[in-house]
Chains A and B, each alone.
Chain A
Amino acid sequence: MKILVCISNVPDTTAKITFTDNNTQFNTSGVQFILNPYDEIALSRAIELTEVGKGSVTVINVGEVNTEATIRKALAIGADDAVRINAKPHDAWFVAYQIAQYIKQNPFDIILTGRESIDYNGSKVAGMLGELLDIPSVSVIKKIDIDGDKGAVELEIEGGKEVLDIPFPFVVGAAEGVAEPKIPNMRGIMSARTKPLKVIEAVEVETFSEIISYVTPAPRGQVKLVPADEPGKLIGLLHTEARVI
């Protein structure tokens, strides 16, 4: 069983998000970058699945050389090898296109992504990969088990959940619940340095979207406090002032 996990390099969850150059550039100064938390979950599950069933886990990232610390972290967690497609990840389409090209030459049984990247939150790469490779995809799953040459995945639907059988090869996006994130141990960290990390060049492709600027949310006004023994007042304010009930 060959598993590919797509990993992205994102600002730490505690990072303060600010912009420069007239709000056109994300200000990376002082920001620490991490392995996208959902990708960490996807990777952890991939390792569990190959521990039971045998197989290998490859991680792939579309990024410039500065993402290698994150790639090494993935290797330390337990991936067997890594591929970096050397390019700035312009948008989800660009990323999916590059990864799809790689998969066409190097087939996998299972392709895992995170349910979304916590920077652009597109939830798009999994679906785009599915379409580019003409294979089934589920963008957000809560559970995955393997049974022979198919997966059983659980996903959330409006007001409920569903279990699907999905034949190899397929692509799914992991959400919370799929696995507990694995923490690299000393041996993992040592061996990560020598595990193979292949760098390949990107192919050219037309893109269809461009971020032209950013907006930070308007700050809220001062909080209005209601005395603890008069919650009726709160209900009144929500009804007459805020008009939300």
Chain B
Amino acid sequence: MSVLIYTENAEGRFKKSIFETVSYARAIADLTNTSLVAISIGDVSADQLSLLGKYGADKVLNVSNEKLKNFVNQAYASVIAAAADKENADIVVLSNSFSGRGLAPRIGVKLNAGVADGAVSLPEISESKFTVKKTAFSGKAFAIVQLTSAKKVIALTPNSYQLVEKAAAGKVEDFNPVNKESDFRTMMKEIVRSADKISLPDAEIIVSAGRGLKGPENWGMIEELADLLGAATACSKPVSDAGWRPHSEHVGQTGIAVSPNLYIAIGISGAIQHLAGVSASKVIVVINKDPEAPFFKVADYGIVGDAFEVVPKLIAAVKEYKTSA
């Protein structure tokens, strides 16, 4: 028996969220007294692969072949399921990222495994029960899901498990399963990566702004604050509906659900649908000129004031903090 973790890379590198997932998978392997096998697919250097051992991978399967250079969920799911068979893995762990969402259900079907998506903590395991806590109702609640199948797939919500260094052998092995032709029916036409952009689901800090900012021309200060903090930018729904910001920045119940360490909401009222997608944030800061704004009820810190005065001062304060730190 073993636990298998799929470690996705972004242009050949593993992000912090992947090491968190490895730490999580290591903890599950310890809970079940088995070994942890990582699988990496694509062009990843030996240096990067060696990092997986640092977080507890006993073994690393390295799948590197021309056909699998680009992500195709059907093909990757086949490879990961083949690795699970080869390693006799009864638990497969992945990150609930964009690609994880494409993979987890396919792997679940291939392995006849129950799938716990959006897990937020370690499973509880006893002789008779295997349960996982996951987000439900768009962040308004959690569900405790019992997986009753022999094999299980768990997709971990980014930013919900701490990095733990735990050195293990991390021995790298090549793995070359054969895909069926039908795994490659989709064709990549175009790929655009903005290297400097931090993706929302795994951002540790998010600076978000709403209709209180009045118009798209006022986002300069939001971006400046985000840059200074190494944060991603987000917005409320009416802002993206009005075309002030792209849809990909819209957070909330019908947008992206986020769970950063720090969420700074500027000029956002805190409607229930907005809160649903952001309430899993560890710390929430609200800046709003209306002291009665509902967002203050769920905030940890707040400033009652006009964003156009507060944000520039905040930017100055962050600059000062950064030069003194």
Name A's B-contacting residues (CB within 8 A).
Answer: 11, 13-14, 17, 19, 37-38, 92-93, 96, 118-128, 130-132, 134-140, 142, 152, 155-167, 170, 175-177, 207-217, 220-221, 223-229, 231-232, 234-239, 242, 244-245
Contacts and interface: CB of A to CB of B under 8 A. Distances in A.
A167 B296 CA distance: 49
A115 to B, nearest CB: 8
B284 A220 contact: yes
A234 B314 contact: yes
- List 4 A-B pairs, minimum CB-CB distance, nearest first: A228-B305, A127-B105, A208-B114, A160-B193
B303 interface: yes
Contacts of A239: 321
Which of A135, A155, A165, A227 has the most C-beta atoms of chain B within 10 angstroms of its own C-beta?
A165
B98 A124 contact: no
Contact of B254 (A11, A164, A176, A228): A176
Interface stretch (B33-41, B160-168, B184-192, B213-221): B184-192
B10 to A, nearest CB: 5
Contacts of A132: 109
Contacts of A220: 284, 298-300
A210 B106 contact: no
A128 B109 contact: yes
Interface residues of B, number: 101
B137 A136 contact: no
A131 B310 CA distance: 51
A118 B182 CA distance: 32
Given A138-B102, A160-B197, A176-B247, A244 B108 contact: no
Nearest to A176: B247
18 contacts: A11-B137, A123-B117, A127-B102, A136-B186, A140-B102, A155-B98, A158-B199, A159-B199, A160-B194, A163-B190, A208-B148, A211-B146, A215-B143, A225-B303, A228-B309, A232-B320, A234-B317, A242-B262
Contact of A235 (B273, B284, B317): B317
B321 A235 contact: yes
Contact of A137 (B74, B141, B255, B321): B74
Grouping DSSP codes into helix (H, G, I), strand (E, B) and loop, the A interface class, with mixed when no group exceeds half, is mixed
Nearest to B284: A220
Interface stretch (B20-28, B61-69, B128-136): B128-136
B138 to A, nearest CB: 5
A237 B298 CA distance: 17
Interface string B190-207: 111111011100100100
B310 A210 contact: no
A210 B148 contact: yes
B48 interface: no
B302 interface: yes
A239 to B, nearest CB: 7
Contact of B108 (A121, A124, A235): A124
A237 to B, nearest CB: 6
B105 A126 contact: yes
A13 B253 CA distance: 7
Contacts of A207: 114, 148
Given A37-B254, A121-B138, A242-B300, A137 B102 contact: yes
A232 B102 contact: no
B141 A217 contact: yes
A222 to B, nearest CB: 9
Contact of B189 (A96, A163, A210): A163
Nearest to B180: A134
B228 to A, nearest CB: 10
